[in-house]
Amino acid sequence: MTLNVDPKALEALNNFKLPEDIGFGRTMVPIMAVCDFENGKWGELQLLPYGPLELDPTAKVLHYGQEIFEGMKAYHYEGHGPYLFRADQNAKRFNESAKRMAMAEVPEEIYLEAVRAIVGYSNDFIPVQSGESLYIRPFMISTEEHLGIKPSEKFKFLVIASPSGAYFSTGFLKVLIEREFIRACPGGMGAAKTGGNYAGSLISAQKAKSLGFQQTLWLDALEKTYIEEMSGMNFFSVINGKLHTPEIQDTILDGITRNSLIQLAKDLGYEVVEEKMNINDLLTAIENGSCSECFACGTAAIITPIGMLGDAGGNEWNIKNPEGPIAKELRETLLSLQEGRIEDIHGWRETVKVICH
Ligand code: COI
Protein backbone atom coordinates (compact mmCIF):
# COMPACT_ATOMS: atom_id res chain seq x y z
CA MET A 1 0.00 0.00 0.00
CA THR A 2 1.66 3.26 -1.08
CA LEU A 3 1.12 6.43 0.89
CA ASN A 4 0.91 9.64 -1.08
CA VAL A 5 2.37 12.39 1.12
CA ASP A 6 1.23 15.97 0.47
CA PRO A 7 4.25 18.29 1.02
CA LYS A 8 1.89 20.61 2.95
CA ALA A 9 1.49 17.84 5.55
CA LEU A 10 5.26 17.84 6.10
CA GLU A 11 5.26 21.63 6.33
CA ALA A 12 2.46 21.44 8.93
CA LEU A 13 4.47 18.91 10.97
CA ASN A 14 7.57 21.09 10.88
CA ASN A 15 5.62 24.12 12.11
CA PHE A 16 3.76 22.27 14.89
CA LYS A 17 4.45 22.87 18.58
CA LEU A 18 2.91 20.74 21.30
CA PRO A 19 1.16 22.97 23.88
CA GLU A 20 2.08 22.47 27.54
CA ASP A 21 -1.38 21.59 28.75
CA ILE A 22 -2.62 18.88 26.39
CA GLY A 23 -5.69 17.50 28.21
CA PHE A 24 -7.59 14.78 26.33
CA GLY A 25 -8.58 14.98 22.66
CA ARG A 26 -8.21 18.75 22.39
CA THR A 27 -4.90 19.16 20.57
CA MET A 28 -4.69 17.38 17.24
CA VAL A 29 -1.47 16.52 15.38
CA PRO A 30 -1.39 18.63 12.18
CA ILE A 31 -1.80 15.74 9.74
CA MET A 32 -4.51 13.25 8.77
CA ALA A 33 -4.58 10.08 6.69
CA VAL A 34 -7.45 9.89 4.19
CA CYS A 35 -8.68 7.23 1.79
CA ASP A 36 -11.88 7.35 -0.32
CA PHE A 37 -14.11 4.49 -1.47
CA GLU A 38 -15.96 4.98 -4.74
CA ASN A 39 -17.16 2.79 -7.63
CA GLY A 40 -16.68 -0.32 -5.50
CA LYS A 41 -13.01 0.24 -4.65
CA TRP A 42 -10.64 2.03 -2.32
CA GLY A 43 -8.46 4.77 -3.81
CA GLU A 44 -5.03 6.01 -2.83
CA LEU A 45 -4.08 6.49 0.83
CA GLN A 46 -3.08 10.12 1.34
CA LEU A 47 -1.33 11.99 4.11
CA LEU A 48 -2.78 15.51 4.20
CA PRO A 49 -2.48 18.49 6.52
CA TYR A 50 -5.15 18.32 9.24
CA GLY A 51 -8.09 20.49 8.30
CA PRO A 52 -11.84 20.81 7.62
CA LEU A 53 -13.58 18.33 5.36
CA GLU A 54 -15.65 19.40 2.40
CA LEU A 55 -18.95 17.49 2.30
CA ASP A 56 -22.04 17.83 0.17
CA PRO A 57 -24.89 18.89 2.50
CA THR A 58 -26.81 15.75 1.42
CA ALA A 59 -23.94 13.41 2.40
CA LYS A 60 -25.66 10.49 4.09
CA VAL A 61 -23.58 10.69 7.25
CA LEU A 62 -25.11 14.10 7.99
CA HIS A 63 -28.68 12.79 7.87
CA TYR A 64 -28.65 9.09 8.66
CA GLY A 65 -25.59 8.75 10.88
CA GLN A 66 -23.87 6.06 8.80
CA GLU A 67 -20.55 6.40 10.62
CA ILE A 68 -18.11 4.28 12.60
CA PHE A 69 -14.93 4.89 14.59
CA GLU A 70 -12.21 3.32 16.71
CA GLY A 71 -10.07 4.45 19.63
CA MET A 72 -6.41 3.40 19.80
CA LYS A 73 -3.23 4.70 21.42
CA ALA A 74 0.47 4.93 20.64
CA TYR A 75 2.88 4.97 23.58
CA HIS A 76 6.31 6.38 24.23
CA TYR A 77 8.20 5.78 27.42
CA GLU A 78 11.73 6.81 28.39
CA GLY A 79 13.04 6.85 24.86
CA HIS A 80 11.31 3.61 23.80
CA GLY A 81 8.57 3.23 21.24
CA PRO A 82 6.44 4.38 19.63
CA TYR A 83 4.34 1.30 20.37
CA LEU A 84 0.90 0.29 19.19
CA PHE A 85 -1.13 -2.18 21.23
CA ARG A 86 -3.20 -4.93 19.53
CA ALA A 87 -3.79 -2.69 16.49
CA ASP A 88 -4.99 -5.68 14.45
CA GLN A 89 -7.87 -6.12 16.91
CA ASN A 90 -9.02 -2.55 16.30
CA ALA A 91 -8.83 -3.10 12.54
CA LYS A 92 -10.99 -6.22 12.89
CA ARG A 93 -13.54 -4.57 15.16
CA PHE A 94 -13.71 -1.59 12.78
CA ASN A 95 -14.81 -3.94 10.01
CA GLU A 96 -17.33 -5.67 12.30
CA SER A 97 -18.82 -2.21 12.89
CA ALA A 98 -18.68 -1.51 9.12
CA LYS A 99 -20.67 -4.69 8.39
CA ARG A 100 -23.34 -3.83 10.97
CA MET A 101 -23.70 -0.31 9.57
CA ALA A 102 -23.83 -1.51 5.93
CA MET A 103 -20.57 0.27 5.07
CA ALA A 104 -17.61 -0.82 2.94
CA GLU A 105 -14.96 -2.74 4.87
CA VAL A 106 -11.52 -1.13 5.02
CA PRO A 107 -8.78 -3.62 4.04
CA GLU A 108 -6.63 -4.28 7.11
CA GLU A 109 -3.48 -3.15 5.26
CA ILE A 110 -5.02 0.27 4.50
CA TYR A 111 -6.26 0.64 8.08
CA LEU A 112 -2.90 -0.31 9.61
CA GLU A 113 -0.81 1.63 7.11
CA ALA A 114 -2.84 4.77 7.84
CA VAL A 115 -2.45 4.32 11.62
CA ARG A 116 1.29 3.57 11.33
CA ALA A 117 1.83 6.62 9.10
CA ILE A 118 0.11 8.93 11.59
CA VAL A 119 2.12 7.47 14.48
CA GLY A 120 5.42 7.36 12.55
CA TYR A 121 5.16 11.00 11.45
CA SER A 122 3.86 12.18 14.85
CA ASN A 123 6.62 10.53 16.88
CA ASP A 124 7.94 13.86 18.22
CA PHE A 125 4.50 14.72 19.60
CA ILE A 126 3.78 11.57 21.61
CA PRO A 127 3.83 12.54 25.29
CA VAL A 128 6.31 10.59 27.38
CA GLN A 129 4.83 10.38 30.90
CA SER A 130 3.36 7.05 31.95
CA GLY A 131 -0.42 7.15 31.30
CA GLU A 132 -0.06 9.73 28.52
CA SER A 133 -0.16 8.75 24.86
CA LEU A 134 -1.08 9.66 21.33
CA TYR A 135 -4.82 8.94 21.17
CA ILE A 136 -5.63 7.78 17.64
CA ARG A 137 -9.07 8.10 16.12
CA PRO A 138 -9.67 6.12 12.89
CA PHE A 139 -13.18 6.76 11.52
CA MET A 140 -15.29 6.36 8.41
CA ILE A 141 -18.23 8.40 7.15
CA SER A 142 -20.70 7.85 4.32
CA THR A 143 -20.27 10.61 1.74
CA GLU A 144 -22.74 9.73 -1.02
CA GLU A 145 -24.83 12.75 -2.00
CA HIS A 146 -28.46 11.67 -1.85
CA LEU A 147 -31.33 12.13 0.59
CA GLY A 148 -32.80 8.66 -0.04
CA ILE A 149 -32.46 6.22 2.82
CA LYS A 150 -30.26 3.52 1.40
CA PRO A 151 -26.73 2.39 2.16
CA SER A 152 -24.14 4.81 0.83
CA GLU A 153 -21.87 3.66 -1.97
CA LYS A 154 -19.23 6.29 -1.20
CA PHE A 155 -17.16 6.47 1.97
CA LYS A 156 -14.28 8.41 3.43
CA PHE A 157 -11.89 6.69 5.85
CA LEU A 158 -9.70 8.95 7.99
CA VAL A 159 -7.19 8.70 10.80
CA ILE A 160 -6.52 11.67 13.07
CA ALA A 161 -4.66 11.74 16.39
CA SER A 162 -4.34 13.73 19.56
CA PRO A 163 -1.44 13.86 22.03
CA SER A 164 -3.37 13.21 25.26
CA GLY A 165 -3.17 12.99 29.01
CA ALA A 166 -5.71 11.36 31.34
CA TYR A 167 -9.31 11.03 30.09
CA PHE A 168 -10.78 11.71 33.53
CA SER A 169 -9.60 14.51 35.76
CA THR A 170 -11.31 13.04 38.84
CA GLY A 171 -9.85 10.25 40.97
CA PHE A 172 -12.92 8.03 41.47
CA LEU A 173 -16.02 8.00 39.34
CA LYS A 174 -19.52 8.49 40.67
CA VAL A 175 -21.72 6.39 38.43
CA LEU A 176 -25.45 6.72 37.78
CA ILE A 177 -27.40 3.47 37.42
CA GLU A 178 -29.63 4.40 34.46
CA ARG A 179 -33.10 2.93 35.05
CA GLU A 180 -35.05 5.13 32.62
CA PHE A 181 -33.27 5.24 29.24
CA ILE A 182 -31.64 2.29 27.47
CA ARG A 183 -28.52 2.21 25.33
CA ALA A 184 -29.03 -0.87 23.17
CA CYS A 185 -31.42 -3.74 22.61
CA PRO A 186 -30.89 -7.29 21.28
CA GLY A 187 -30.56 -7.22 17.50
CA GLY A 188 -29.70 -3.51 17.60
CA MET A 189 -26.34 -1.88 17.01
CA GLY A 190 -24.99 -1.75 20.57
CA ALA A 191 -21.91 -3.80 19.70
CA ALA A 192 -20.93 -1.48 16.84
CA LYS A 193 -18.68 1.48 17.50
CA THR A 194 -20.94 3.95 15.76
CA GLY A 195 -21.76 7.55 16.63
CA GLY A 196 -25.47 6.88 17.17
CA ASN A 197 -24.77 4.78 20.25
CA TYR A 198 -22.85 7.66 21.78
CA ALA A 199 -25.37 10.31 20.68
CA GLY A 200 -28.16 8.27 22.30
CA SER A 201 -26.21 8.12 25.56
CA LEU A 202 -25.85 11.89 25.93
CA ILE A 203 -29.25 12.53 27.50
CA SER A 204 -28.20 10.24 30.33
CA ALA A 205 -24.83 11.99 30.54
CA GLN A 206 -26.71 15.29 30.99
CA LYS A 207 -28.91 13.75 33.65
CA ALA A 208 -25.92 12.17 35.40
CA LYS A 209 -24.09 15.49 35.48
CA SER A 210 -27.09 17.35 36.88
CA LEU A 211 -27.32 14.76 39.68
CA GLY A 212 -23.61 14.95 40.52
CA PHE A 213 -22.45 11.80 38.68
CA GLN A 214 -19.78 11.54 35.97
CA GLN A 215 -20.88 8.44 34.07
CA THR A 216 -23.84 6.21 33.29
CA LEU A 217 -24.08 2.48 33.94
CA TRP A 218 -26.46 0.99 31.37
CA LEU A 219 -28.82 -1.88 32.13
CA ASP A 220 -30.31 -4.34 29.63
CA ALA A 221 -33.29 -3.17 27.58
CA LEU A 222 -35.66 -6.06 28.27
CA GLU A 223 -35.56 -6.47 32.06
CA LYS A 224 -33.62 -3.36 33.13
CA THR A 225 -31.83 -5.65 35.55
CA TYR A 226 -28.57 -6.79 34.00
CA ILE A 227 -25.46 -4.61 33.80
CA GLU A 228 -24.25 -3.94 30.26
CA GLU A 229 -21.57 -1.24 29.87
CA MET A 230 -20.76 2.43 30.41
CA SER A 231 -20.97 4.03 26.92
CA GLY A 232 -17.25 4.62 26.36
CA MET A 233 -16.10 1.90 28.76
CA ASN A 234 -16.69 -1.65 29.99
CA PHE A 235 -17.54 -2.45 33.60
CA PHE A 236 -15.70 -4.70 36.10
CA SER A 237 -16.14 -5.45 39.78
CA VAL A 238 -14.16 -7.47 42.31
CA ILE A 239 -16.36 -9.79 44.39
CA ASN A 240 -14.75 -12.09 46.96
CA GLY A 241 -11.42 -11.54 45.22
CA LYS A 242 -12.72 -12.64 41.78
CA LEU A 243 -13.11 -10.32 38.81
CA HIS A 244 -16.62 -10.11 37.40
CA THR A 245 -17.62 -8.50 34.11
CA PRO A 246 -20.81 -8.81 32.02
CA GLU A 247 -20.51 -11.45 29.29
CA ILE A 248 -20.33 -10.02 25.77
CA GLN A 249 -23.50 -9.99 23.71
CA ASP A 250 -24.75 -7.89 20.81
CA THR A 251 -25.75 -5.03 23.13
CA ILE A 252 -22.22 -4.50 24.50
CA LEU A 253 -19.08 -3.19 22.81
CA ASP A 254 -16.47 -5.96 22.83
CA GLY A 255 -13.71 -3.92 24.46
CA ILE A 256 -10.10 -4.66 23.53
CA THR A 257 -8.98 -3.27 26.90
CA ARG A 258 -11.62 -5.52 28.51
CA ASN A 259 -10.29 -8.60 26.68
CA SER A 260 -6.69 -7.72 27.46
CA LEU A 261 -7.47 -7.27 31.16
CA ILE A 262 -9.21 -10.62 31.34
CA GLN A 263 -6.07 -12.29 29.98
CA LEU A 264 -3.69 -10.25 32.16
CA ALA A 265 -5.79 -10.93 35.27
CA LYS A 266 -5.64 -14.67 34.53
CA ASP A 267 -1.85 -14.40 34.00
CA LEU A 268 -1.66 -12.80 37.48
CA GLY A 269 -3.62 -15.70 38.97
CA TYR A 270 -7.07 -14.09 39.34
CA GLU A 271 -10.26 -15.93 38.54
CA VAL A 272 -12.39 -14.03 36.01
CA VAL A 273 -16.15 -14.55 35.78
CA GLU A 274 -17.83 -13.43 32.54
CA GLU A 275 -21.57 -13.85 32.97
CA LYS A 276 -24.79 -11.88 33.22
CA MET A 277 -24.53 -9.50 36.19
CA ASN A 278 -27.70 -8.64 38.06
CA ILE A 279 -27.50 -5.03 39.33
CA ASN A 280 -29.38 -5.96 42.52
CA ASP A 281 -26.86 -8.72 43.32
CA LEU A 282 -24.03 -6.25 42.80
CA LEU A 283 -25.64 -3.66 45.09
CA THR A 284 -26.16 -6.31 47.78
CA ALA A 285 -22.51 -7.33 47.42
CA ILE A 286 -21.44 -3.68 47.83
CA GLU A 287 -23.67 -3.35 50.91
CA ASN A 288 -22.34 -6.52 52.59
CA GLY A 289 -18.73 -5.72 51.65
CA SER A 290 -18.10 -8.77 49.46
CA CYS A 291 -17.73 -6.42 46.47
CA SER A 292 -14.57 -4.52 47.30
CA GLU A 293 -13.86 -2.70 44.03
CA CYS A 294 -15.58 -1.55 40.85
CA PHE A 295 -13.85 0.00 37.87
CA ALA A 296 -14.34 1.12 34.30
CA CYS A 297 -11.95 0.21 31.50
CA GLY A 298 -11.41 1.33 27.94
CA THR A 299 -8.74 2.65 25.61
CA ALA A 300 -9.28 6.25 26.67
CA ALA A 301 -10.11 5.54 30.33
CA ILE A 302 -7.43 2.80 30.78
CA ILE A 303 -8.68 1.63 34.21
CA THR A 304 -10.60 4.19 36.24
CA PRO A 305 -11.85 3.22 39.69
CA ILE A 306 -15.48 3.76 40.68
CA GLY A 307 -16.06 5.19 44.14
CA MET A 308 -19.83 5.20 44.22
CA LEU A 309 -22.89 3.88 42.37
CA GLY A 310 -26.16 5.73 42.78
CA ASP A 311 -29.56 6.21 41.22
CA ALA A 312 -31.84 9.10 40.33
CA GLY A 313 -33.84 8.45 43.52
CA GLY A 314 -30.92 9.61 45.68
CA ASN A 315 -29.78 6.12 46.77
CA GLU A 316 -26.02 5.65 47.03
CA TRP A 317 -23.79 2.61 47.28
CA ASN A 318 -20.24 3.45 48.32
CA ILE A 319 -17.50 1.07 47.25
CA LYS A 320 -15.57 -0.37 50.19
CA ASN A 321 -12.14 0.04 48.68
CA PRO A 322 -12.24 2.77 46.03
CA GLU A 323 -8.42 2.89 45.99
CA GLY A 324 -8.76 -0.58 44.47
CA PRO A 325 -5.55 -2.60 44.91
CA ILE A 326 -6.59 -5.09 42.20
CA ALA A 327 -7.59 -2.33 39.77
CA LYS A 328 -4.26 -0.64 40.52
CA GLU A 329 -2.28 -3.83 39.91
CA LEU A 330 -4.11 -4.46 36.63
CA ARG A 331 -3.66 -0.85 35.49
CA GLU A 332 0.05 -0.97 36.23
CA THR A 333 0.42 -4.33 34.43
CA LEU A 334 -1.49 -3.10 31.38
CA LEU A 335 0.40 0.20 31.16
CA SER A 336 3.79 -1.51 31.66
CA LEU A 337 2.98 -3.77 28.76
CA GLN A 338 1.68 -0.97 26.53
CA GLU A 339 4.63 1.29 27.38
CA GLY A 340 7.23 -1.39 26.77
CA ARG A 341 8.32 -1.78 30.39
CA ILE A 342 7.65 -5.54 30.67
CA GLU A 343 8.03 -8.54 28.40
CA ASP A 344 5.26 -8.92 25.83
CA ILE A 345 4.43 -12.62 26.24
CA HIS A 346 1.25 -12.43 24.15
CA GLY A 347 2.79 -10.59 21.17
CA TRP A 348 0.43 -7.61 21.57
CA ARG A 349 2.93 -4.79 21.18
CA GLU A 350 4.24 -3.43 17.89
CA THR A 351 7.08 -0.95 17.47
CA VAL A 352 6.22 1.57 14.76
CA LYS A 353 8.88 2.86 12.38
CA VAL A 354 9.59 6.54 13.01
CA ILE A 355 9.38 8.63 9.83
CA CYS A 356 11.61 11.72 9.65
CA HIS A 357 10.17 14.88 8.11
C1 COI B 1 -12.13 4.86 23.69
O2 COI B 1 -11.87 4.45 24.81
O3 COI B 1 -11.27 4.93 22.81
C4 COI B 1 -13.47 5.28 23.35
O5 COI B 1 -13.87 5.09 22.24
C6 COI B 1 -14.21 6.05 24.32
C7 COI B 1 -14.44 7.38 23.78
C8 COI B 1 -15.81 7.60 23.33
C9 COI B 1 -13.66 8.47 24.32
Q: Quick one: which atom of ligand 1 is closest to the CA of 135?
A: 3
In angstroms, what is the span from residue 41 Cα to ligand 1's centroid? 29
Amino acid 267: pLDDT = 98
Atom of ligand 1 nearest to the CA of 193: 5
At 314-333, the pLDDT tens digits run 999 999 888 899 999 999 99
85 and 189, same domain (yes or no):
no
Q: Do 217 and 120 belong together in one domain?
A: no
Residue 276 has pLDDT above 80, yes or no: yes
Task: Determine which residue's CA is closest to atom 3 belonging to ligand 1.
Answer: 71
| Cα 70 to ligand 1 centroid, rounded to whole Å | 8
Nearest CA to ligand 1 atom 6: 232
State yes or no: pLDDT of 344 exceeds 90.
Answer: yes
State what percent of residues in the chain have pLDDT above 90: 92
Say yes or no: 27 and 157 in one domain. Answer: yes
For a pocket test of ligand 1, which of 84, 299, 304 has the largest count of ligand atoms closer than 8 A to its C-beta?
A: 299
Is residue 106 pLDDT above 90, yes or no?
A: yes
Spell 149-171 as b/e; 16+ CB within 10 A means b: eeebebbbbbbbbbbbbebbeee
Number of domains in the chain: 2
Residue 170 has pLDDT above 80, yes or no: no
pLDDT of residue 166: 84
Ligand 1 atom at minimum distance from 198 CA: 8
CA angle 330, 215, 308 (to 5 degrees): 70
Query: Where residue 282 falls among pLDDT bands split at 50, 70, 90?
Result: very high
Ligand 1 atom with the shortest distance to the CA of 298: 2
Could you tell me if 30 and 92 lie in one domain? yes
pTM to 2 decimal places: 0.97
- Residue 171's pLDDT band (cuts 50, 70, 90): confident
Q: What is the pLDDT of residue 87?
A: 98
Check whether residue 126 and residue 180 sit in a common domain. Answer: no
Name the band, by pLDDT with cuts 50, 70 and 90, for residue 60: very high
340 lines ligand 1 (CB under 6 A): no
Residue 347 in any domain: the answer is: no
CB of 68 closer than 6 A to ligand 1?
no
Q: Which of 121, 141, 164 is the last residue of a domain?
A: 164
Distance from CA of residue 229 to its chain's centroid?
13
User: Domain limits at 14?
Assistant: 3-164
Q: What's phi and psi for 135, nearest 5 deg?
A: -80, 125
Is 97 touching ligand 1 by the criterion CB < 6 Å?
Answer: no
